[in-house]
Structure 1
Amino acid sequence: MELAKPYYAVIFSSLRTDGDEGYAQMAEEMETLARKQPGFLDIESARDGVGITVSYWESLEAIADWKANMDHKQAQKKGIQTWYSWYKVRICKVEREYEFNK
């Protein structure tokens, strides 16, 4: 993924509670919705114990707009009530990147 720099990364690290409780469906819906947001660039996700989802954005304003999205706010509320025992959000400015690809 080659993105114009600088851009921003929102790193969401989390520990899930037991059971799905609608999590998988909501995660899919939130990714679909995020992809439609102005300023959204891409997303990557992995889970093996601690889950890490990194979404990429053009600006801090785009990130703030996503956080304020009403559907996203409902998902955040459900996450606190049901899906997560812990999470942390980090917002970083990406100025440089490199990769290896065999």
Structure 2
Amino acid sequence: MSLICNTPKPPYYAVIFTSVRSSIEDGYADMANHMMKLAAQQPGFLGVESARESIGITVSYWESLQAIKDWKNNQNHMQAQQLGKEKWYSEYTTRIVRVEKEYSFNDEGRP
């Protein structure tokens, strides 16, 4: 199983969420898991990839700008965003981009 999303042929959109966590852990993991499950149920959601070291980078993929807007305005997501500002993040940046081209490699056939 690949950890990299199998996205459709471009164009599609990506939301890149780059963050620095605060020292507060209370409830973060549960909320992050809940948001991943909720996002996957949203119309237009294509997938997500995430990594965290000293900074976190989460990239979610979407069919359209409208799907991104609808997710941003989801009531549960809005509550999570507020909690993130209040306690879980010391800073973050969100970037929205249109994916025009992609190419891939995997070594599944390699002995």
| TM tier, smaller | over 0.9
Instruction: For 1:26 and 1:80, locate their aligned partners in 2 and report how far apart those are by CA, in whole Å.
Output: 13
1:4 and 2:4 correspond:
no
Structure 1: stretches of 5+ with no match in the other structure: none
Query: Structure 1: which amino acid aligns with 2:62?
Result: W
Question: Paired residue for 1:58, among 52, 63, 66?
Answer: 63
Query: Structure 2: which amino acid aligns with 1:70?
Result: Q
TM normalised by structure 2 equals: 0.89
Instruction: For 2:97 and 2:43, locate their aligned partners in 1 and report how far apart those are by CA, in whole Å.
Output: 18
- Aligned structure 1 segments of 4 or more residues deviating by more than 2 angstroms: none
Structure 2: stretches of 5+ with no match in the other structure: 1-5
Residue 99 of structure 1 corresponds to which residue in structure 2? 104
Instruction: For 2:58 and 2:8, locate their aligned partners in 1 and report how far apart those are by CA, in whole Å.
Output: 17
Residues 13, 62 of structure 2: 8 Å contact kept: yes
TM normalised by structure 1 equals: 0.97
Percent sequence identity is 58
Instruction: For 2:7 and 2:29, locate their aligned partners in 1 and report how far apart those are by CA, in whole Å.
Output: 28
Question: Paired residue for 2:26, among 21, 25, 29?
Answer: 21
Listed as ranges, the matches of 1:39-58 within 5 Å are 39-58=44-63
Instruction: For 1:13 and 1:2, locate their aligned partners in 2 and report how far apart those are by CA, in whole Å.
Output: 20
* Comparing 81-90 and 17-26, the one that deviates more: 17-26
CA deviation after TM superposition for structure 1 residue 21, in Å: 1.1
